Amino acid sequence: MTKRQRIVVVGHGMVGHRFAQAAVERGLTETHDVVIFGEEPRAAYDRVGLTSWFGQGSEALSLLPGGEYDDPRVRLVIDSVVTEIDRVARTVTVVSPPSAVGDLLAHPGAVTVHDYDVLVLATGAAPFVPPVEGRGRSGCFVYRTIEDLEAIQAASASATSGIVIGGGLLGLEAANALVQLGLDTHVVEMAPRLMPVQLDGAAGSTLVRHVEKLGVSVHTGVLTEEIEGGDAVTGLRVRQAGTEEGAPTTTIEAQVVVFSAGIRPRDALARECDLETAPRGGVLVDEQCRTADPHVFAIGECAAPGGTMYGLVAPGYAMAEVVVDALLDGPGTFTGADMSTKLKLLGVDVASFGDAFATTEGALELTYADAVSGVYKKLVVSEDGRRLLGGILVGDASAYGILRPMVSSGLALPDNPEQLILPASSGAPMGMPDEAQVCSCNDVTKADILHAVAEQGCESVADVKQCTRAGTTCGSCVPTVKNLVEEHFASLGKVVDKGLCEHFRLTRQELFDVVAVHGYRRFDDIVEAHGTGRGCDICKPAIASILASQTSTHILEPATAELQDTNDKYLGNIQRNGTYSVVPRIPGGEITPDKLIVIGEVARDYGLYTKITGGQRIDLFGARIDQLPAIWRRLVDAGFESGHAYGKSLRTVKSCVGSTWCRYGVQDSVGLAIALELRYRGLRSPHKLKGGVSGCARECAEARGKDFGVIATEKGWNLYVGGNGGANPAHARLLAGDLDTATLVAYLDRFLMYYVRTADRLQRTSTWIEHLEGGLDRVREVVVDDSLGLGAELEAEMARHVGSYEDEWRATLEDPSKLERFVTFVNAPGTPDPTIEFTTERGQIQPIAPALIPVGAPA
Amino acid sequence: MIELAAMTTVCAVEAVPLEGGVAALVDGEAVAVFRTHAGEVFALGNVDPFSGASVLSRGIVGTRGDVPVVSSPMYKQAFDLRTGQCVDDPAVSVPSYDVAVVDGVVVVGSPREAA
Ligand code: SRM
Ligand SMILES: Cc1cc2nc3c(=O)[nH]c(=O)nc-3n(C[C@H](O)[C@H](O)[C@H](O)COP(=O)(O)OP(=O)(O)OC[C@H]3O[C@@H](n4cnc5c(N)ncnc54)[C@H](O)[C@@H]3O)c2cc1C
Ligand code: SF4
Ligand code: FES
Nearest CA to ligand 2 atom 35: A11
Residues 6+ apart with CB under 8 A from A857: none
**Residue range A697-731, pLDDT digits in tens:** 999 999 999 999 999 999 999 999 999 998 778 99
Ligand-binding site membership of A439 (annotated): no
Nearest atom of ligand 1 to the alpha carbon of A724: 26
Residue A792 has a CB neighbour count (10 Å cut-off) of 11
Listed residue (A271, A300, A301, A256) closest to A126, CA to CA: A301
CATH superfamily of A5-126+265-327: FAD/NAD(P)-binding domain (3.50.50.60)
pLDDT higher at A389 or A319: A319
Nearest atom of ligand 2 to the alpha carbon of A441: 11
Rounded to an integer, what distance in angstroms lies between the CA atom of residue A67 and that of residue A75? Answer: 10
Q: Are the beta carbons of A537 and B59 separated by less than 8 Å?
A: yes
Which pLDDT score is estimated for A469?
A: 87
Listed residue (A708, A519, A512, A692) closest to A616, CA to CA: A692
Rounded to an integer, what distance in angstroms lies between the CA atom of residue A628 and that of residue A635? Answer: 11
Question: Would the pLDDT of A431 be above 80?
Answer: no
Q: Are the beta carbons of A858 and B95 separated by less than 8 Å?
A: yes
Nearest CA to ligand 1 atom 9: A645
**Residue range A284-301, pLDDT digits in tens:** 999 999 999 999 999 999
> Residues spanned by CATH 3.30.413.10 within chain A?
649-805
Nearest CA to ligand 4 atom 1: A439
Q: How far is the CA of A674 from the centre of ligand 3 (A)?
A: 16
Listed residue (A182, A186, A311) closest to A253, CA to CA: A186
Question: Would the pLDDT of B45 be above 90?
Answer: yes
The proportion of chain B whose per-residue pLDDT surpasses 70, expressed as a percent, equals 94
Ligand 2 contact via A11 beta carbon (within 6 Å): yes
> Residues spanned by CATH 3.90.480 within chain A?
565-642+807-859
CB distance A549 to A684 below 8 Å: yes
Strand order of the sheet with strand A350-354? Answer: A341-342, A350-354, A388-394, A375-381, A364-370
Indicate the helix (H) or strand (E) that contains A83. strand A81-86
Which pLDDT score is estimated for B3?
A: 67
**Residue range A491-528, pLDDT digits in tens:** 777 666 667 888 998 888 888 888 888 888 999 999 99
Specify the CATH architecture of the domain A129-261. Answer: 3-Layer(bba) Sandwich (3.50)
Ligand 1 contact via A650 beta carbon (within 6 Å): no
Is B64 near chain A, with CB under 8 Å? yes
Rounded to an integer, what distance in angstroms lies between the CA atom of residue A419 and that of residue A221? Answer: 35
Q: How far is the CA of A753 from the centre of ligand 3 (A)?
A: 29
Which pLDDT score is estimated for A203?
A: 84
Question: Would the pLDDT of A425 be above 70?
Answer: no
Which pLDDT score is estimated for A485?
A: 86
Mutate to test the pocket of ligand 2, among A36, A37, A39 (most ligand atoms within 8 A of CB): A39
CB distance A86 to A263 below 8 Å: no
In a 13 Å sphere around the CA of A340, the CA atoms on its Cβ side amount to 29
Segment among A473-477, A478-482, B34-38, B63-67 with least mean pLDDT? A473-477
Which pLDDT score is estimated for A559?
A: 86
What is the DSSP secondary-structure string of A6-43?
EEEEE--SHHHHHHHHHHHHTTGGGTEEEEEE-SSSSS
Which pLDDT score is estimated for B114?
A: 57
Question: Would the pLDDT of A852 be above 60?
Answer: no
CB distance A417 to A379 below 8 Å: yes
Which pLDDT score is estimated for A424?
A: 44
Characterize the bridge pairing of strands B41-45 and B29-35: antiparallel
**Residue range A28-73, pLDDT digits in tens:** 999 999 999 999 999 999 999 898 888 778 888 999 988 999 999 9
Q: Where are the beta strands (DSSP E) in A125-241?
A: 125-127, 140-142, 161-165, 184-189, 216-220, 222-229, 233-240
Rounded to an integer, what distance in angstroms lies between the CA atom of residue A474 and that of residue A730? Answer: 20
CB distance A824 to A626 below 8 Å: yes
Q: Are the beta carbons of B65 and A570 separated by less than 8 Å?
A: no
Nearest atom of ligand 3 to the alpha carbon of A711: 1
How do the residues of chain B divide into helix, strand and coil, expressed in percent and rounded to 5?
10, 50, 45
Q: Sorting pLDDT into bands at 50, 70 and 90, what band is A316?
A: very high
Rounded to an integer, what distance in angstroms lies between the CA atom of residue A125 and that of residue A303? Answer: 9
Alpha-helical (H) ranges within chain B are none
**Residue range A375-394, pLDDT digits in tens:** 888 888 888 878 888 888 88
**Residue range A592-629, pLDDT digits in tens:** 999 999 999 999 999 999 999 999 999 999 999 999 99
Which pLDDT score is estimated for A484?
A: 84
Q: How far is CA A128 from CA A19, A164, A186, A259, B24, in A?
A: 26, 13, 19, 8, 81
Q: How far is CA A710 from CA A192, A617, A655, A667, in A?
A: 42, 20, 10, 11
CA A151 to chain centre: 22
Question: Would the pLDDT of A87 be above 70?
Answer: yes
pLDDT higher at A789 or A408: A789
Listed residue (A409, A480, A407) closest to A450, CA to CA: A480
Q: Where are the beta strands (DSSP E) in A640-743?
A: 650-655, 689-694, 708-712, 717-721, 733-739
In eight-state DSSP terms, residue A225 is: E
Mean pLDDT over each residue of chain B, to the nearest integer: 91
Q: Which residue among A540, A570, A824 places its CB closest to the CB of B62?
A: A540
The tally of domains found in chain B comes to: 1
Pocket of ligand 4 (CB under 6 A): A 439-442, 470-477
How do the residues of chain A divide into helix, strand and coil, expressed in percent and rounded to 5?
35, 25, 45
Rounded to an integer, what distance in angstroms lies between the CA atom of residue B88 and that of residue B79? Answer: 8
Specify the CATH architecture of the domain A565-642+807-859. Answer: Alpha-Beta Complex (3.90)
Which pLDDT score is estimated for B78?
A: 94
User: Quick one: average pLDDT of A561-567?
Assistant: 91
pLDDT higher at A430 or A189: A189
Q: How far is the CA of A476 from the centre of ligand 4 (A)?
A: 5
The proportion of chain A whose per-residue pLDDT surpasses 90, expressed as a percent, equals 60
Contact residues, chain B, for A850 at CB < 8 Å: 47, 51-54
Residues 6+ apart with CB under 8 A from A301: A15, A124, A125, A263, A265, A266, A282, A309, A310, A311, A316
Question: Would the pLDDT of A460 be above 90?
Answer: no
Mutate to test the pocket of ligand 1, among A569, A573, A764 (most ligand atoms within 8 A of CB): A573
Name the residue range of residue B102's domain.
Answer: 4-111
CB distance A817 to B1 below 8 Å: no
Residue A825 in 3-state DSSP?
coil
Which pLDDT score is estimated for A858?
A: 36
Is A649-805 CATH 3.40.50.300?
Answer: no
Ligand 1 contact via A724 beta carbon (within 6 Å): yes
CB distance B12 to B104 below 8 Å: yes
Q: Are the beta carbons of A578 and B59 separated by less than 8 Å?
A: no
Mutate to test the pocket of ligand 4, among A52, A63, A437, A441 (most ligand atoms within 8 A of CB): A441
Query: Of the ligands numbered here, which is closest to the C-alpha atom of A401?
Result: 4
Which pLDDT score is estimated for A105?
A: 63
What CATH code is carried by the domain that includes residue B56? 2.102.10.10
Q: Are the beta carbons of B71 and A536 separated by less than 8 Å?
A: yes
User: Quick one: average pLDDT of A676-688?
Assistant: 95
Mean pLDDT over each residue of chain A, to the nearest integer: 89
**Residue range A334-368, pLDDT digits in tens:** 988 777 777 666 567 788 888 888 888 888 888 88
Q: Sorting pLDDT into bands at 50, 70 and 90, what band is A100?
A: confident
Task: Give the number of beta-carbon pairs within 8 Å between A and B.
Answer: 133
Listed residue (A222, A225, A221, A220) closest to A246, CA to CA: A225
Is B76 near chain A, with CB under 8 Å? yes
* Å between A440 CA and nearest CA of chain B: 46
Which pLDDT score is estimated for A859?
A: 33
Listed residue (A61, A264, A259, A240) closest to A178, CA to CA: A259
CB distance B61 to B34 below 8 Å: yes
User: Quick one: average pLDDT of A189-214?
Assistant: 86
Query: Of the ligands numbered here, which is closest to the C-alpha atom of A663?
Result: 3
Rounded to an integer, what distance in angstroms lies between the CA atom of residue A787 and that of residue A781? Answer: 5
Cα angle: B93, vertex B99, B102; to 5 degrees: 170
Q: Are the beta carbons of A835 and B71 separated by less than 8 Å?
A: no
Q: Which residue among B51, B63, B91 places its CB closest to the CB of A533?
A: B63
* Burial call A9-47: b when 16+ CB within 10 Å, e when fewer: bbbbbbbbbbbbbbbbeeebbeebbbbbbbbbebbbbbb
Ligand-binding site membership of A696 (annotated): yes
